[in-house]
Structure 1
Amino acid sequence: MRGPDLARAALEAARASAKSRAKQPGRRGAGGANRSKRRRWSGAGPDDRDPQPLGRLASRVATEHGWAERLAGGNVFGKWAKLVGEDVAEHAKPITLSDGELTVQADSTAWATQLRLLQRELIKRIAAGVGDGVVKKLKVQGPQAPNWRFGPRHAPGRGPRDTYG
């Protein structure tokens, strides 16, 4: 054998050897079943396997698990001063948010009245900042009165005031 015949014979031997190795179980080769397991490299363009910003990953996890509504509610508490303005945030603080009803406590009765008058505008500001439908209703409370019930046990009745007369 000379030249081209020798090259053809070597090529046929290499092909036969590759086929016999591909048919062996547990080996990766040029076989059709194992071909899909081969590593595919990402190109220069974006890919799901590329490193992602943490915020994007967190929002994806939140939407997959259905936590988006609770996170939007948390944004109301976290961005309160930015949403309603510094002057309102100085005199009022959010207490609870449940079923679209935000409970806000004012530090004086005058500010509670003012917040009741500004209720529609505050709901619009909050909707613009965190999304529409997160806060549907605003419940305004005045300052808390002092509580004279101290301790875990309490006797019914007027208490110590009834001993003086």
Structure 2
Amino acid sequence: MRANADGGSDRSEFGGDEGSRKPVALSSIVDKILEDHGVLAQVRRMSVLGEWSELVGDAVARVTRARSVEDGVLIVEVRSSPWLMELNMMKGDFVRRVNDYMPDTPIERIVFVQAETE
């Protein structure tokens, strides 16, 4: 908060005097900033990375890792070639599950890639 010329605080940059403002959720402020910068949808899409195992179930989660979301495309690493082929056949189901989880920011498609071996 800045002090004005007479030593008091200058609240004008925050929307006026404290009595006239209503509380606003921090999440809505962050959403507004992200939206103003054109990245809100991408940030929301990235939430699927942390929810991947819940969305696909234990068996698939053990052999995959959601790696990134780029331009509406979810990139998922797969541990083996047989699983890669199997998951490619089930791709439509996974896209539906992801989009049911985040209907406001749907992904366009999922790309399964072979995980690099160490």
- TM-score normalised by L of structure 1: 0.52
Residues 108 and 39 of structure 1: CA distance in aligned 2, closer, same or farther (over 3 Å): closer
Matches within 5 A, 1:44-55: 49-55=21-27
| Higher strand content, 1 or 2 | 2
Output the amino acid matched with 2:22.
Answer: D
Residues 125 and 82 of structure 1: CA distance in aligned 2, closer, same or farther (over 3 Å): same
Which residue of the partner structure matches residue 124 of structure 1?
96
CA positional deviation for 1:41: 4.2
- Match of residue 34, structure 2, among 62, 75, 95: 62
CA positional deviation for 1:85: 2.6
- Contact in 2 for aligned 1:72/1:131 (Cα 8 Å): no
Root mean square deviation, CA, Å? 2.5
Percent identity, please: 22
CA positional deviation for 1:74: 1.5
Rg larger for: 1
Deviations 1:88-141 (A, max 9, x none): 222111223222222211112222122111100000011111235632122112
- Match of residue 137, structure 1, among 90, 109, 112: 109
| Mapped partners of 1:62, 1:82: distance in 2 | 26
- TM-score normalised by L of structure 2: 0.69
Matches within 5 A, 1:19-38: none
Output the amino acid matched with 1:64.
Answer: D
| Mapped partners of 2:72, 2:43: distance in 1 | 13
| Mapped partners of 1:55, 1:61: distance in 2 | 10
**2:47 is the alignment partner of 1:87:** no
Which residue of the partner structure matches residue 163 of structure 1?
none
Which residue of the partner structure matches residue 46 of structure 1?
none
Give structure 1 regions of 4+ aligned residues with deviation exceeding 6 angstroms. Answer: none
Residues 109 and 59 of structure 1: CA distance in aligned 2, closer, same or farther (over 3 Å): same
Residues 40 and 69 of structure 1: CA distance in aligned 2, closer, same or farther (over 3 Å): closer
CA positional deviation for 1:145: 4.7
Residues 118 and 39 of structure 1: CA distance in aligned 2, closer, same or farther (over 3 Å): closer
- Contact in 1 for aligned 2:41/2:105 (Cα 8 Å): no
- Contact in 2 for aligned 1:105/1:140 (Cα 8 Å): yes
- Match of residue 114, structure 1, among 86, 92, 98: 86
Instruction: List alignment gaps of at least 5 residues for structure 1.
Output: 1-37, 43-48, 147-165
